[in-house]
Chain A
């Protein structure tokens, strides 16, 4: 990665991003998973990757059109109850996203970078039978921050099993007879069971894995000291300064963890009964390090209520409780971690507003740490997306963190981000974002910038 003067970056921004906005062809649909169902991307997505109400129902039904068993058996081979795709491209998708240009100012040191899009992901998703679905993900991140021992960090590339990698079972009884056998009873979907590397928040009213405003990578210096944290939705982040995993690897304050993990080993079950969803599960724990060495597991419970259904309106509210059982360390002491909070989502026509507020509380601190460690934290993330035209999506997000952790290290964060996406095609977007630190600017890695301007791409196939 090379450093460039800001003026160069601005010039490249104008020539590379802004000009194409005015000289591009009309968007045309090139479906990804939509290939299988002969649907446009926007049948399920506001724009990928965020789901609209139909996409949520499709996801909830185990990647199948609700009430139809496997939606497109015409395109599959069948051996008994097992079916497989005739066309590989009907189960395969790819996404690459990331900044091409980014420029930080107002912090130390200011920097401007040209970067290769940070993340490439390959997806394989579909169903083996009417009631067994799969979702496999391989990913390559060219730059991610990983914790080391003694509170140090490193920047590195990662390749391997991606954020999610699971099998989903639909345990609905006698599914082929539904809904005929359910007359007079509340309408029900599931129970569904996800087993593998999962992100349970995918069913939350604000899911971690469906972000228009992508995480912006942080910065670590050559000594392993973190200069600037990764910019993520603060509601989902770890929020505590001075935590490490069970095997002693430092946890980045802004890393999405616990219920909002980008993918951790566990088992999840969720059921929809009328407008209500109940979700419960057990996770291995913090995924920041290589393992949860104490072998204890983290249970969670989430409930969600959907509403709307007419006049282009829908929404949901969710409540969450997650118990991190000896899931991390402060110093050498294993601690318990309670996470709880709420999320909400309202969609009206082409406006999509959503947010989450999450509180965290740590217990089990060593007596020597208790006096100097703030054991509570709070994160708030609010976002609004508006599809201005078929080709332009505007997003505004506010992140607020009342951090916890060692008093000598901790600081609070407040960031406001505005992003404009231009869809050259349904599956190919250019974006330009500006994230402003609306709180204090200091040397603290949570506050070490005033302004971030970034431009990048989001391409799905």
Chain B
């Protein structure tokens, strides 16, 4: 495009006004650092201690956020039938969760149980790679508001505040080592993880469906970006122990009773598949 003099003048004016506006914006307000620099780990697992009257206000605030953003995928009634929901998983898993079903993939509680509030908050904060954005910039208060609204409006049951799953410490012989990963490799076959995820972890089975009868592919364990429930050591441990309700991935907490530490071996094997 060739600009004549008149357009050059207009562009000059445009750039000038823009720079002026940006400068004014920067100078007139200060960053709310306390909200922007949130500590993921220090707050994420802290149990909420909300008073009832505060909860009512929090739920109202949560509804406002939900009705502006979350409903687009999860639907106004929490049925997972928002106007954008089918495009996320048009013909395959995942689809936005149906909160009213009481089935939640991402929990720290036993399979079949409801999640804790902190579980909901973690999912809202972290998002689900590939499918749900992180809403961490709502701030912890905003995240809690939304989680409380979802609980009250759609789940309509009291959420557990503790879990019976034993989260063994990641210490001693169960810190990452080649030996631990080797033991995990044996467990991987003994527990038949390879039947769905493949011997090489690259997800072979194509015949699985979730409880909504939608085709679901086991994740590729060699690609951490496909891990919907988080990629940290603890996230993978939690996923193994609790499973992903609503999908064919069961929880293995029962298999590790009394030997919870050895689940870390399996975690380390999975990490080794990713070269981590």
Contact = CB atoms under 8 A, between A and B. Distances in A.
B50 interface: no
A291 B137 contact: no
Contact of A53 (B4, B32, B83): B83
B189 interface: no
A349 B31 contact: no
Contacts of B83: 52-54, 308-309, 312-314, 347
A310 interface: yes
Contact of B31 (A39, A78, A311, A312): A78
B31 A80 contact: yes
Contacts of A43: 84, 87-88, 131-133
A79 to B, nearest CB: 9
A81 B31 contact: yes
A53 B36 contact: no
A351 to B, nearest CB: 10
A112 interface: no
Contacts of A128: 22
A78 B36 contact: yes
A281 to B, nearest CB: 15
A434 B87 CA distance: 26
Contact of A183 (B61, B73, B76): B61
Interface string B119-140: 0000000010111111111100
B162 interface: no
A312 B86 contact: yes
Nearest to A40: B130
B133 to A, nearest CB: 5
A210 to B, nearest CB: 14
15 contacts: A42-B87, A42-B88, A43-B132, A67-B68, A74-B134, A81-B30, A82-B26, A160-B2, A167-B18, A176-B35, A180-B61, A183-B61, A187-B64, A309-B82, A390-B90
Interface of A: 29, 37-40, 42-46, 52-55, 57, 65-74, 78, 80-82, 128-129, 131-132, 158-161, 167, 169, 176, 179-180, 182-183, 187, 189, 195-196, 265, 290-291, 308-314, 347, 349-350, 387, 389-390
Interface of B: 1-2, 4, 6-7, 10, 14, 17-18, 21-22, 25-26, 29-32, 35-36, 60-61, 64-65, 67-69, 71-73, 75-77, 79, 81-88, 90-92, 127, 129-138, 142, 225
